[in-house]
Amino acid sequence: MDYYPKTFIMLGSLLGAMGLSVLIIGLLADGTVQGHSFSMLSLSVLAFCMSYLYPQFKQKDERMKAIRQKAVSYAFTAVIGYLLVFSLLAELNVLTMDVTVILSLITALSMTTLFLLLVFLARKY
């Protein structure tokens, strides 16, 4: 199968536009944030990252294995940090969002963090 980076870029643009429109419409309609808009925006970041990473992921060499391993360990540390921050904000009654929105936000942050770390580490090594 050939590599088409424009497909990933078009998909990322479409998902980003959809996510932003759902987020803006939700804020304008009733002033609340829709949780699934974060998922669309994180999938947009995923598609943009894959447009850069796909040719390198096809290779099964030691470099890519090391990059994947480091990215997952860094992302795990970041997710623990996100959970600590959200727990602290919830304990101090700063957050007034629903639990589903917070879980969706944490999921989107973890996906975005992992794929951005993969791009940064692939450029570094």
Per-residue pLDDT of 67-78, as tens digits, reads 999 999 999 999
pLDDT tens-digit series, residues 13-71: 999 999 999 999 989 998 888 888 999 999 999 999 999 998 888 878 898 999 999 99
pLDDT for the residue 1: 55
pLDDT for the residue 23: 92
Could you tell me how far CA 120 lies from the centroid of its own chain? 14
pLDDT for the residue 97: 83
- From the list 25, 31, 46, 34, the residue with the least C-alpha distance to 115 is 46
Is the whole model's pTM more than 0.75, yes or no?
A: yes
Across the range 99-103, mean pLDDT stands at 89
